[in-house]
Structure 1
Amino acid sequence: MAFVKLSATERRRLSAFFTCLILAAVAWVFTTLSGTYNFTVKKELSYKNAPEKRAFHSLQPDTINTTMQGTGWQMLFSRMNNEDNTITVDLQTLENKDYVVLSSQLKQINDRKEFDEQIVGFNPDTLYFDFSNRAVKRIPVKLLTDISYQHQFSQSNNVVITPSYVTLSGPANIIDNIRAWNTDSLILDSVNETVRTRVNMQPAKEGNVSIYPKSIQLVLPVDEFTEKTISIPVKLINNQNYYKVKIFPLKVNVTFITSLNRYAEMDEELFEASADLTLWSDRDYTTLPVKLTRIPAYCKIVKIEPQNIDFIVRK
């Protein structure tokens, strides 16, 4: 391919041409973006001054299309800015009506905005609500967790939640079916000590349901665990014909994992082991398996020796 060789004068002229072209394009962009335009932005709805004696349910989605008026620059940056994406609607008129006209609150909504672009219209402009009797209900807190512990550490006692109940307020037909309220998930990794923290409650999905308090305080006891072995007497059950039965051994050794704080207090009175004689009378077992029927909380059984006991029945 042949290349066109330009003289120094021609190169200067070509460079000047492209420079002028770029400057003209930049000037056109600045002029265009400096103009005033109407553009549509989707906004989320939030509510304030909800009626105290009337429970409401919104009959439209929780987002609305707003017509904004601003410069091209504002239109451009509004597409990238998600921080100012909420409109707060005053529900004071719902005390005696079942709808809210957004255009009647246009000045108040614009006065609360932090940016220069103005809202000039809404679609839809009127929000409609359905009403039902408001009810109040106390329900237990349900803690959601995803916790991993360091080696030999684990939960050593019940979690203490304060408060353990929350109060719901809203339409009776909604909250009557709610039995418990979840917290946000408590996610912890490599835990090796007692956890004391505050956890938020999950927000209500319905705008006409309120929850109090919005967070709870919890204490999660954590301790180091170790093994311990004790001898536990075996109790014979379901001797329905009152046979004279001799079992041996009379005790079994139970090895379990327990926390260091409770190690000293762990004795045979906290456990109960049994053997079921109906396994012999009804199913012809020649030895009886031992089952632990009472185990302290937060203990993990490692092994039972022996797992089966011998017996002699005298009729």
Structure 2
Amino acid sequence: MAIIKLSAIERRRLSVFVTCLVFAVFAWLFTALSNTYKFTIRQIINYKNLPQKRAFYPLQADTVSAIVQGTGWQMLFSKVDYNNKPINVDLHTLETKNFIVISQQLKQINAKKDLNHEIIALNPDTLFFDFSNRIIKRVPVEVVSDIQYQKQFSQSNDLMIKPRYVTISGPAEVLAKITSWKTDTVKLQNANEDFIGRIALQKPKEGNLAVIPRAVTLTIPVDEYTEKTLEIPVKVINNQRYYDIKVFPQKVKVTFTTSLTDYPEMNEDDFEAVADLDLWRHNGYNTLPVKVTRMPSYSKVTKIEPQVIDFIIKK
């Protein structure tokens, strides 16, 4: 491979030439991008001033193609600049008709844009809607959560939601399928104390649904957990023939987890341990396993001693 050797003067001339070429390219690029162009972008539609007496369903997608007039710089960065900046379309005229001509609102749309550009046309230009009678329904709030608790901590009582119910309005056929309304996901890491916060409700996917209120106050009781052991009497169930039955032992030791707050108040009255006599009658068991069928909420049995009991039946 031949190697071209340049003298010091030639290298200097080549450096000057390359520098001038780079400046010329940048100058041309700057001039070209400063000119005005027309280009097309996709924009999300956001409906405002929804009709109060009519429920509606859009008959087209929630995005439109917008023909924008702007500089080459704006065209170059359009993918970034126009993301998450929806077009606000006013629907107040739907009280008397079933379509909206967006071009009639271009002046208001351009006036509220926070970018130095101008939308000159939209496709489709006319939006059509399907209408039905609007009804109102109350449904419970459903909390969506993703909570990671610190070791030995957990939820210690029922969630408190205010308000517990929300009011939704929309077409009867849509509301018939809705039995609850979900919140945005509550995400907590290493939770070790009560959580109290304002949580937004999920936005309706259908444009013809309205949800009131838009947020609720949520309280999640959190407490540290420990273990406690109590002796619980065993109750024999399914003694349909009223046999005289003696069980040994008459009490079992139940170890369970409980919050530190509830620890002092836990006693044997909060629990019920049973042995099923049907296991002897139908299956011939010689000993009966013990099960805990009643215990306080948010407690968990970790051990039963003994797990099976002996019994004597006197006919």
Same fold (TM over 0.5): yes
Q: Counterpart of 1:253?
A: 253
Identity %: 57
Q: Counterpart of 1:88?
A: 88
Q: Counterpart of 1:60?
A: 60
Q: Is the 8 A contact 2:271 2:295 kept in 1?
A: yes
Any idea what SS the aligned residue of 1:281 has? helix
| Deviation by residue 1:210-233 (Cα, 9 ceiling, x = unmatched) | 212221111111111111111111
**Cα distance, 1:9 vs structure 2:** 5.1
**Cα distance, 1:4 vs structure 2:** 4.2
User: In the aligned structure 1, how far is the partner of 2:120 from the partner of 2:38?
Assistant: 8
**Cα distance, 1:54 vs structure 2:** 0.5
Does residue 77 (structure 1) correspond to residue 77 (structure 2)? The answer is yes
Q: Which amino acid aligns with 1:283?
A: N
Indicate how the Cα distance of structure 1 residues 314 and 5 shifts in structure 2: closer, same or farther if over 3 A, else same: closer
User: In the aligned structure 2, how far is the partner of 1:52 from the partner of 1:302?
Assistant: 56
**Cα distance, 1:40 vs structure 2:** 0.3
Mark the runs of 5 or more structure 2 residues left unpaired by the alignment: none
**Cα distance, 1:20 vs structure 2:** 3.7
Any idea what SS the aligned residue of 2:69 has? strand
Does residue 167 (structure 1) correspond to residue 170 (structure 2)? The answer is no
Counterparts in 2 of 1:102-121, with a 5 A limit?
Answer: 102-121=102-121
Q: Which amino acid aligns with 2:74?
A: Q
Q: Counterpart of 2:240?
A: 240
Indicate how the Cα distance of structure 1 residues 100 and 310 shifts in structure 2: closer, same or farther if over 3 A, else same: same
Q: Which amino acid aligns with 2:186?
A: L
**Cα distance, 1:8 vs structure 2:** 5.3
Moved more, 185-194 or 49-58: 185-194
| Deviation by residue 1:167-195 (Cα, 9 ceiling, x = unmatched) | 11212211221001111111112111111
Q: Counterpart of 1:223?
A: 223
Q: Which amino acid aligns with 2:37?
A: Y
Using the size of structure 2 for normalisation, the TM-score is 0.94
Runs (4 or more) in structure 1 with deviation over 6 Å come to: none
User: In the aligned structure 2, how far is the partner of 1:249 from the partner of 1:8?
Assistant: 105
Counterparts in 2 of 1:230-309, with a 5 A limit?
Answer: 230-309=230-309
Moved more, 31-40 or 52-61: 31-40
| Deviation by residue 1:9-46 (Cα, 9 ceiling, x = unmatched) | 54554444434433332332233222221110110000
Indicate how the Cα distance of structure 1 residues 241 and 102 shifts in structure 2: closer, same or farther if over 3 A, else same: same
Indicate how the Cα distance of structure 1 residues 57 and 245 shifts in structure 2: closer, same or farther if over 3 A, else same: same
Mark the runs of 5 or more structure 1 residues left unpaired by the alignment: none
Q: Is the 8 A contact 2:147 2:187 kept in 1?
A: yes
Indicate how the Cα distance of structure 1 residues 281 and 11 shifts in structure 2: closer, same or farther if over 3 A, else same: closer
Q: Which amino acid aligns with 1:57?
A: Y
User: In the aligned structure 2, how far is the partner of 1:241 from the partner of 1:259?
Assistant: 41
Indicate how the Cα distance of structure 1 residues 10 and 269 shifts in structure 2: closer, same or farther if over 3 A, else same: closer
Q: Which amino acid aligns with 1:118?
A: E
Q: Is the 8 A contact 2:43 2:82 kept in 1?
A: no
Moved more, 43-52 or 166-175: 166-175
Q: Counterpart of 2:36?
A: 36
User: In the aligned structure 2, how far is the partner of 1:52 from the partner of 1:226?
Assistant: 54
**Cα distance, 1:56 vs structure 2:** 0.6
User: In the aligned structure 1, how far is the partner of 2:284 from the partner of 2:255?
Assistant: 29
User: In the aligned structure 1, how far is the partner of 2:166 from the partner of 2:250?
Assistant: 50
User: In the aligned structure 1, how far is the partner of 2:132 from the partner of 2:210?
Assistant: 15
Indicate how the Cα distance of structure 1 residues 14 and 310 shifts in structure 2: closer, same or farther if over 3 A, else same: closer
Q: Is the 8 A contact 2:149 2:190 kept in 1?
A: yes
Indicate the RMSD between aligned Cα atoms, in angstroms. Answer: 1.8
Does residue 141 (structure 1) correspond to residue 134 (structure 2)? The answer is no
Indicate how the Cα distance of structure 1 residues 19 and 254 shifts in structure 2: closer, same or farther if over 3 A, else same: closer
Q: Which amino acid aligns with 2:118?
A: Q
| Deviation by residue 1:138-158 (Cα, 9 ceiling, x = unmatched) | 111111112122222111111
| Deviation by residue 1:71-96 (Cα, 9 ceiling, x = unmatched) | 22222232331356310001111111
| Deviation by residue 1:220-268 (Cα, 9 ceiling, x = unmatched) | 1111111111111111221112222222221111111111111111111
User: In the aligned structure 1, how far is the partner of 2:296 from the partner of 2:87?
Assistant: 54
